[in-house]
Amino acid sequence: MAEAMSQNRKAAFSLARHSTGMIASVLFLAPIVWTVLSTFKPAQEARQPPLPPWPTTGFSVENYQTLNTFGDGLWASAQNSIYVSVMTVLLSVLVSVLAGYGFSRFRFPFRDFFFVLILSTIMIPFQSILTPIFLVLTKLGLHNTLTGLVCVYVTLQLPFSIFMMRNAFDAVPREIEEAARMDGANNVTMLIKVMLPLVWPGVVTIALFAFLGAWNEFLAALVLMTDQSKFTLPVMMTALQSGRFGAIDWGAVQAGVTVMMVPCLILFLALQRFYIRGLMAGAVK
Partner 1 sequence: MTAITAASAPVRSRAGVSRRQWVGLLYVLPAVALVTVFFVIPLGMTAWMSLNNWPLMGEHSFVGLDNYIAILHDTRFWNALKFTFYYTVIVTIAIFAVAFPLAIFIEKPRPLTNLYRTAFFMPAVVGFASASLLWSWLLNVDSGLFSPAAYDIGLTEKKVNLLATFQPAFWSIIAMVVWKVAGFTMIILMTGLQSIPQDLQEAAVIDGAGPFARFRAITLPLMRRTLALALILSVAGSILAFDQFYIILRGGPRNQTLTAVYWIFNQSFVSFKLGYGAALSMVLLVILVALSLVQLWLLRKPEGLD
Q: How many residues sit close enough to partner 1 to count as binding (CB under 8 A)?
A: 92
d(CA 80, CA 144): 12
- Segment contacting partner 1 by CB under 8 A, of 3-11, 72-80, 193-201, 276-284: 276-284
- Check if the beta carbon of residue 223 is closer than 8 Å to that of residue 67: no
Nearer to partner 1, 61 or 280 (CB): 280
Binding to partner 1 (CB under 8 A) within 142-201 occurs at 151-152, 154-155, 158, 162, 170, 174, 178, 187
**CA 254, chain centre distance (Å):** 20
Q: Decide if residue 86 touches partner 1 (CB under 8 A).
A: no
- Segment contacting partner 1 by CB under 8 A, of 1-9, 19-27, 54-62, 63-71: 19-27
d(CA 270, CA 105): 32
- Segment contacting partner 1 by CB under 8 A, of 1-9, 59-67, 196-204, 248-256: 248-256
Distances (CA, A) of 273 to 16, 196, 210, 280: 28, 19, 16, 11
- Check if the beta carbon of residue 132 is closer than 8 Å to that of residue 140: no
| Candidate list 78, 89, 99, 195; residue touching partner 1; CB under 8 A | 99
**Integer-rounded Cα radius of gyration of the chain:** 24
Nearer to partner 1, 1 or 253 (CB): 253
Binding string to partner 1 for residues 102 to 141, with x set by CB under 8 A, is what?
xx-xxxxx-x--x--xx--x-xxxxxxxxxxx-xx---x-
Nearer to partner 1, 82 or 105 (CB): 105
State in angstroms the smallest separation of the CB of 184 from partner 1: 15
| Candidate list 6, 7, 19, 25; residue touching partner 1; CB under 8 A | 25
Distances (CA, A) of 8 to 11, 75, 231, 233: 5, 57, 59, 53
Nearest in space to 154 (alpha carbons), one of 75, 207, 77, 228: 207
State in angstroms the smallest separation of the CB of 4 from partner 1: 22
